[in-house]
Amino acid sequence: MKNCSACDEPVEISDRFCESCGVSLIKDLNAAVTFQSLSEPIFPNCQKCDSIDLEPDGFCNQCGSRNPVHRDRFEQILQPGFAAISDRGIRHSQNEDCFAVAQLADGRSIIVVCDGVSSSMNPGMASQSASQSACESIQESLKANLDPEAALVQGIHQAQIAVAALAAISKGEPPSTTIVAAIVSACNSDAANSALSAQATIAWLGDSRAYWLGSTPETSRQLTQDHSWCEDVVAAGQLSRQEAERSPQAHAITRWLGFDAEDVVPSVVTIDLDVPGRLVLCSDGLWNYASSVPEFYQALHHPPGTEAVVIVRQGVEFALRCGGQDNITIALLESTLRTDFQSVKP
């Protein structure tokens, strides 16, 4: 038991909002941490009985209460225009999402967002292994002068190896996860025509998404197409989108990373950069509440100059207010993108 920082009323350590005054309590769990410490409890002792006999997942062996762990909510800020956050949400007992972000010395940015598949064993381990191994591999590939598409494909291949290896230490359904990853090059002025020359390349498996947010809803768009039952039946003309989205099978994914995955070839899209905007990668814990482009734009739109961490934090707050039914992960990079596709591969 602890007290609300706003009204001092008692709240449970697992509460996300104060029942007395309604203030969000998630800021108390905010922490930027390393991959190695993500699964460790935030506090050394139980916040209910003061015991130090805590499991790695935060459960107290003395009183049985669950204590917060770093994985519940963590964020990373690389620069004012580049930040990411992951939050457990309200309904889930643990955070099965993960992200990894990086920036090279030459200005290129890397974003990886993974959403562990809840029906599998150890989905949180899968998303953490995938995001970390993919990000590390992508950095190595870019430093070795591979082009962005090849670097992303190689990174996702390494993530597949890492997640598939987890089956040997897991019982039941092999650990699995979705993945969406992006490489954004720095913008350099072209003296010949005074234009900006840069690109963003995005690759994915599953239903974690990438969106481009321009200055208006009309200049914004969804950049990825889900690998899901819903998209398949809509594309085949078997159901309308409204009918498909109402089905219990709507979120059944058709591609993922894991030992039991049959198709691990990612889809890839490359976009030329030209005008100001924001690239957003996220798990379905966010876009479930704003899946259309106009809805997504309204949920995350902020005036130019707003720091990325402010936007991603408020994106999490939006999803929590909508119910927080799933884990929520958002990564945002302020950049200059032109929303016309150069290539789309299966």
pLDDT digits (tens, 9 = 90+) for 59-117: 888 898 877 778 899 999 999 999 999 999 999 989 999 999 999 999 899 999 999 99
Measured distance CA(251)–CA(161) in Å, rounded: 25
Does the predicted TM-score (pTM) go above 0.75?
yes
- Going by C-alpha positions, the residue among 212, 182, 187, 188 that lies closest to residue 200 is 182
Measured distance CA(245)–CA(226) in Å, rounded: 12
Classify 41 as helix, strand or coil: strand
Burial class (CB in 10 A: 0-12, 13-18, 19+), 176: buried
Contacts of 232 (CB under 8 A, 6+ apart): 254
Asked if pLDDT for residue 343 goes beyond 60, the answer is no
- The sheet with strand 328-336 has its strands ordered as 73-79, 82-87, 328-336, 276-282, 209-213, 221-222
Averaged pLDDT of the chain: 85
Q: Could you read off the pLDDT of 276-304 as tens digits, one per residue?
A: 899 999 999 999 999 899 999 999 999 98
The answer to the question of residue 286 being in a domain is yes
- Which residue range forms the structural domain that includes residue 118? 70-345
The answer to the question of residue 11 being in a domain is no
Measured distance CA(69)–CA(59) in Å, rounded: 10
Q: What percent of the chain has pLDDT over 90?
A: 59
The answer to the question of residue 18 being in a domain is no
- Going by C-alpha positions, the residue among 50, 70, 69 that lies closest to residue 61 is 50
The answer to the question of residue 62 being in a domain is no
The answer to the question of residue 273 being in a domain is yes
Q: What percent of the chain has pLDDT over 70?
A: 83
The lowest-confidence range among 10-14, 129-133, 164-168 is: 10-14
The lowest-confidence range among 6-20, 65-79, 169-183, 214-228 is: 6-20
Asked if pLDDT for residue 271 goes beyond 80, the answer is yes
User: What's the sign of the alpha-carbon dihedral 335, 339, 344, 346?
Assistant: positive
Contacts of 6 (CB under 8 A, 6+ apart): 18, 21, 23
The answer to the question of residue 83 being in a domain is yes
Burial class (CB in 10 A: 0-12, 13-18, 19+), 212: buried
Per-residue model confidence (pLDDT) at position 53: 87
What is the tally of structural domains in the chain?
A: 1
> Which structure tokens are listed for 25?
């309590």
CATH assignment of the domain containing 328:
3.60.40.10
The answer to the question of residue 21 being in a domain is no
The answer to the question of residue 43 being in a domain is no
Q: Could you read off the pLDDT of 58-69 as tens digits, one per residue?
A: 788 889 887 777
